[in-house]
Structure 1
């Protein structure tokens, strides 16, 4: 495996891209026709249509100097300065893409249905995975706002998705005077990442994202700390363009995600009605903010209520927390439901939440650890997660991301055993799975897997030969 270091110069605006940045960028722009799966000899060969957009930006030189800035603590504004969006009304303009396929695979001698949202593509922005679902309404807005504002981590999939949506809008208007902006708040970057952007950060900056760095204290004050806060814009955060800026909370956990969840529910119900043969189904969803899971749960319940008792399907939704613990997942989902006005009271909210998968089956719990410790620690390289990532890749040819997909399966596999062991196992299958078929919603996120594997390499868990970094054509 070769590592290619190239010093490249973008003639337009004299932008010099340092050799180390190009090395990291080369990990992003993989020149394959479709997703290809390699076994352990090479952990990674991934390409998405979003890479084609990256290539176009690089080839055309239609990007300016990366924009980094810091927050001005002297500016203040109120919620009235932000543009309010009626997402229910915008939902009327949504144009659905064709349904994502469903693959049946075998994992530890058990059949699993994989809902391949990683293969879903939104026209124009080329978003995939659950961000294609979440950002569907935003992509289809009739009167797109002048500025999108959000916040989160510097390698966030939602960050890259929003950057792609805004970039697509600018392509449509051909970079006219009314250029759309995407402003993103994050904590102060580590020095190496600021000088050597990589992964989703590099891509989002390349697509024109304006990055605003704030101190840890300011970040916690504004956004409620590592696990997020209110879905409303912070009271002391002024919009970049008053009256023309909209706020999208971390991970897209707001009304913008409702329409995509409804379409996902319709696809799952339609597929299971045609292929389920009346069997009970558990739909497992990895959760960050858990917005996809809770909106999907309520959308499926709504569809089930429209069915007659005779034709009603037994379909339940199960969320697997990948950020924080079950308490955090419950708070996030309740907050989203309250915001989208899908229930009346707090007591009603709690009744509308999907089941949350505990970190271990009941007969394996009580190991002297808190739930947070028992769940996988988000973003931290973990040997057990890497083992599961390899197992799913090798056994059934499905590529997972390491932050959500492989982490979710690490917890999931603790709860069930090979079908041959169901009757005799000392740790029998959880009631969430026993006697039920399993469908896993593949949330995508494969665009960021290169930087994820590099972090595993830095921790000594993956050799550099396993991180396939391919060179991209010269600029």
Structure 2
């Protein structure tokens, strides 16, 4: 579903991938291929990432639906979350996630995959099979644009860049993104690893934000968006995304289509972090 709103005098079209269903957002697109895949040769699946990863939560739901064990490796678990599980982490635990903590989480996950016959899934589901779901997403956008006589510049904030890469590969519209996990160099490297000829344009955020940074300007624009659009966005990626758009408006030549990639379950824990740090200010 695509809807429209005005924010800070700028018109936005929003692709509401957050409303897709049990799986929503970019994780629904990334996991589309695996829904009909045969895992009978494996004892379960394993992945790695952060303790409040949207992919972690989505994979826990996926594994539960498929009747698979789900192993997940993180490099650190803070005491607050360990004592009071909330958000994506709590949901994944409730779905039966088997948690491992290892400093080199990727290496640990790959080794465990071999020794316990687990199907390995990259952090953020950053792998070629993910393209399947973005072909469908691209078709939905193309059909809407054709029906309404529109040309879009598409924007979505990135972690690994998987979503932007595969959407761009399957659509003629410009696809723009910004880094929310590593820097621009890291993001470009991840994108080119998936598609050597990628035309994704990486925009520079107005300042460097480390992943999960607690900054008042991020919370402020998130709150303003919720009030103006009546849509709840992700509290980590989307604030950086919208600040980047407004810092780079000259990069957009056509109507802006912003992709809502879901992930709002993680807002529970992130909002608590903001309330602890900025008590009385928000």
TM-score by length of 1: 0.56
Measure, in 2, the Cα distance between the counterparts of 1:240 and 1:454.
38
Measure, in 1, the Cα distance between the counterparts of 2:84 and 2:205.
36
The within-5 A match list for 1:167-186 is: 167-170=64-67, 180-186=68-74
- For structure 2, the 5+ residue unaligned runs are none
Measure, in 2, the Cα distance between the counterparts of 1:259 and 1:146.
24
State whether structure 2 residue 257 is matched by structure 1 residue 445: no
Aligned to 2:82: 194
Any conservation in 2 of the 1:185–1:211 contact (CA below 8 Å)?
yes
Residue 136 (structure 1) aligned to one of 10, 23, 32: 32
Aligned residues: 281
Measure, in 2, the Cα distance between the counterparts of 1:353 and 1:379.
27
Residue 170 (structure 2) aligned to one of 282, 293, 299: 299
Aligned to 1:112: 12
Aligned to 1:241: 116
Aligned to 1:259: 132
Residue 223 (structure 2) aligned to one of 359, 377, 390: 390
SS in 2 for 1:293: helix
TM-superposed deviation, 1:239 = 2.9
Measure, in 2, the Cα distance between the counterparts of 1:386 and 1:140.
39
State whether structure 2 residue 194 is matched by structure 1 residue 376: no
State whether structure 2 residue 152 is matched by structure 1 residue 319: no
Residue 283 (structure 1) aligned to one of 154, 163, 177: 154
Superposed CA RMSD: 1.9
Any conservation in 2 of the 1:334–1:353 contact (CA below 8 Å)?
no
Measure, in 1, the Cα distance between the counterparts of 2:128 and 2:231.
31
Deviations 1:125-181 (A, max 9, x none): x111111111111122244543101001111100010000011122xxxxxxxxx21
TM-superposed deviation, 1:210 = 0.3
Find the structure with the greater CA-based Rg.
1
Between structures 1 and 2, the one with greater helix share: 2
Measure, in 1, the Cα distance between the counterparts of 2:265 and 2:105.
26
TM-score by length of 2: 0.93
**Structure 1 pair 163/240, CA: closer, same or farther in 2 (3 Å)?**
farther
Aligned to 2:193: 335
Measure, in 2, the Cα distance between the counterparts of 1:274 and 1:320.
29
Measure, in 2, the Cα distance between the counterparts of 1:356 and 1:443.
17
Measure, in 1, the Cα distance between the counterparts of 2:280 and 2:94.
28
**Structure 1 pair 414/247, CA: closer, same or farther in 2 (3 Å)?**
same
TM-superposed deviation, 1:415 = 2.3
Aligned to 1:34: none
